[in-house]
Chains A and B, each alone.
Chain A
Amino acid sequence: MSDTSVGVNERVVIEVPDFDQLLQALTTRGYEILGPVARDGAIVYDRVTSTSDLPSGWTDEQNGGQYRLKRREDMALFGYAVGPHSWKKFLHPPVQRLWEAKREGNTFRILADSPAPAKRAFLGVRACELYAMAVQDKVFLEGPYVEPGYQARRDSVFVVAVNCGVAGGTCFCVSMNAGPRATFGYDLALTEVLSGGRHYLVMHVGTPLGAEVLRNVRHRPVADPETREADEIVANTAQQMGRQMNTEGIKELLYRNYEHPRWENVAARCLTCANCTMVCPTCFCTTVEDVTDLSGEHAERWRKWDSCFTKDFSYIHGGSIRATTKSRYRQWMTHKLATWIDQFGSSGCVGCGRCITWCPVAIDITEEVRAIREAEAAGLSAAGTDRP
C-alpha cells in the first residue's frame, strides 16, 4: 500500500476511510482484534472485525453512579472515555482454569498445560489503560514469582493506543500522571482529528512490529499543522478532567489516618457490592476453587476474580479479619492509593474514574481523599472510632 517504510517514533497520517486496512492487516497476521463496541447501553470491549463495529458517533456521559451513551454531532470513532470493561478482562481473565488432574490409584497426576493463547490485538487502549497494564505487569511479572499465563497473554498482544480526544466526567488521569497522552507500551498510538471538514488519524509508531503492520495501511507523513492540531486536542483533554486528586504525600496521609472518622462515613454509604473492584483496571485479587467431577477421578483448579469487599475475603478459622464494611472500604482505598506504593513502587490508581462511575451510590475516591486531607488540616484527625 505504502511505498515508504516508516520508522519507529515517526508519525504518519491515515485518512479514516483507510483505517479499516489496519484491522485487515492485523487479521491477516492472525490477530483476534478486541476493541470498543456499543452494547447494552455501554461501550465495552469485544471482538471487532472492521471499523463498522466501532461505536462511531457515540460518546458517554459519566458522573458518580451514572453512565449513559449519547450521540455526537460527528462520526468520531473514539469520541468517548472508558466504559465498564478494561483490558484486564483479557490479560487477567475473570475465570481461568489453572490446571486439571487425574486420580491414578493412590496418587494423582497433573495433566499437561493448555496450548498457548491466541494472538490478540487491543484496539483503542487509553493512556490510563497502558499505565494499568504496566501496574499489573509489576504484580504478575516482576515479583518473586511470574504468572506464566499472564506472561503468555501479555507477550502476544499487539497494542493500538488512542490519545483521548475527550475527557470523561469522572476522569482524573492527569492527577495520577497517567495520561491523557500515551507515552509507552504500544505498537501504534493514534490521535483522532476532526477539524475543518477533515477526519483523519495521526498515528505514532511505537515499535518495529507497529511499523511493519503499518506497511499494509495507506498512510503519508504527517504535516506540521496536523501535528499541532493533534497535540492541541490532547492538551485540551488534559484541561477537561472531570475529577482531580491531590496525590502529594498521599501514602503518608492514609497511613496516618487508619482511624479517621471519615471511614465510618463512607461505610454508611458503601454497599460492599464490589463493582469498583470489578471495573478497576488494576484490581487483581482472585480466589481459587478446587472442583471435582461426580466420579471423583478428575479434579480441576479454577481461578476467579475476587474482591476484598467480600466478607469471606479475609476469613481465617473462626472469622473474618475485616468483618465490617468500614474495614473493607478502608482496605481497598488504602491499598489502591498507599500500600500499593510500598508493594510495587507506584500508585495502584490510574485515574480512569471507573470506580466513581460504576459505584451504585456514587462514592468518589477523589472526594474521600479530599475529605480526609481537609479534615486533618482542620485539626480533626484521628478521632478514633474503635470499640474499647
Chain B
Amino acid sequence: MIESLEPIIEGHLFFKGLEKRHIKFIAGCAKNVRFAEATVIFREGDPADQFYFVREGLVAIELMVPQRGFTTLQTVGVGDVVGWSWLLPPYKWRFAARTTEVTRALAFDAKCLRAKCEDDHDLGYELFKRFSNVMAERLEATRLQLMDLYGVGA
C-alpha cells in the first residue's frame, strides 16, 4: 500500500501556497526514506538527483579536507531542506552529507522535478522562490558562523 504523501507535503510550511496540481506532482516525485546513524547520504561530486526534507534526525554537511578529514560545516535538522545543487548546473553535489543520528526524510526525485520545471514555469518559479530563501538563510547563518562571534571583541 503506497501511502500518499500529499497531505504531508501540503501540511508543511515549506510547501505552503502551492497550487493543488503542483502539490500532486511533487508528491508524485517524493518518497519516504530512512537512514541509519552515520550514513553517507551523498558524496561531493555525486550527481545531485535528489534532495531531502528532514522529518526527524540530524544531517551533517561536510567537507573533506586532506589531512584534516571530514569537517562538519553545518548541520541541518528537522523541518529543513538538504541540498540545492540539484537546481543549478552542473547538478552535482558541492559538499557531502552524512547523518549523525537516525534520520527520516522525504526524498524528492530531482531529475523528474527539473524536467517538469522546464515545462511548467509556474512550478519552476514557486520552487525557485522557496529554494532561494533556503539559500539566503543558509548564507546568513554561514556568515554569522564566519564572524567568530564568541571571540573576544565580539
Residue numbers of A with Cβ under 8 A of B are 317-319
Q: Which 6 A-B pairs have the closest CB atoms?
A: A318-B153, A318-B152, A317-B152, A319-B153, A317-B153, A318-B154
Q: How far is the CA of A181 from the CA of B133 in the complex (A)?
A: 65
A318: chain B residues at CB < 8 Å are 152-154
Interface size on B (CB < 8 Å)?
3
Q: How far is the CA of A54 from the CA of B24 in the complex (A)?
A: 96
Closest to B151 in A: A318
A317: chain B residues at CB < 8 Å are 152-153
Q: Mark B87-100, 1 if CB is under 8 A from A, else 0.
A: 00000000000000
A319: chain B residues at CB < 8 Å are 153
B154: chain A residues at CB < 8 Å are 318
Least CB distance, B152 to chain A, in whole angstroms: 5
B153: chain A residues at CB < 8 Å are 317-319
Q: How far is the CA of A317 from the CA of B153 in the complex (A)?
A: 5
Residue numbers of B with Cβ under 8 A of A are 152-154
Least CB distance, B150 to chain A, in whole angstroms: 11
Please list 6 pairs of residues, one from A and one from B, whose beta carbons are closer than 8 Å in the complex, sorted by A's number: A317-B152, A317-B153, A318-B152, A318-B153, A318-B154, A319-B153
Q: How far is the CA of A318 from the CA of B152 in the complex (A)?
A: 6
Q: How far is the CA of A318 from the CA of B154 in the complex (A)?
A: 7
Closest to B153 in A: A318
Closest to A316 in B: B153
Q: How far is the CA of A318 from the CA of B149 in the complex (A)?
A: 12
Least CB distance, A99 to chain B, in whole angstroms: 31
Closest to A318 in B: B153
Q: How far is the CA of A225 from the CA of B153 in the complex (A)?
A: 69
Q: How far is the CA of A319 from the CA of B153 in the complex (A)?
A: 6
Least CB distance, B140 to chain A, in whole angstroms: 15
Least CB distance, A311 to chain B, in whole angstroms: 15
Least CB distance, A29 to chain B, in whole angstroms: 58
B152: chain A residues at CB < 8 Å are 317-318
Least CB distance, A318 to chain B, in whole angstroms: 2
Q: How far is the CA of A317 from the CA of B154 in the complex (A)?
A: 8
Closest to A319 in B: B153
Least CB distance, A71 to chain B, in whole angstroms: 58
Least CB distance, A388 to chain B, in whole angstroms: 13
Closest to B154 in A: A318
Q: How far is the CA of A318 from the CA of B153 in the complex (A)?
A: 3
Q: How far is the CA of A319 from the CA of B152 in the complex (A)?
A: 9
Q: How far is the CA of A175 from the CA of B152 in the complex (A)?
A: 47
Q: How far is the CA of A317 from the CA of B152 in the complex (A)?
A: 7
Q: How far is the CA of A319 from the CA of B151 in the complex (A)?
A: 12
Least CB distance, A316 to chain B, in whole angstroms: 9
Q: How far is the CA of A141 from the CA of B110 in the complex (A)?
A: 71
Q: How far is the CA of A119 from the CA of B154 in the complex (A)?
A: 50
Q: How far is the CA of A319 from the CA of B154 in the complex (A)?
A: 9
Least CB distance, A72 to chain B, in whole angstroms: 58
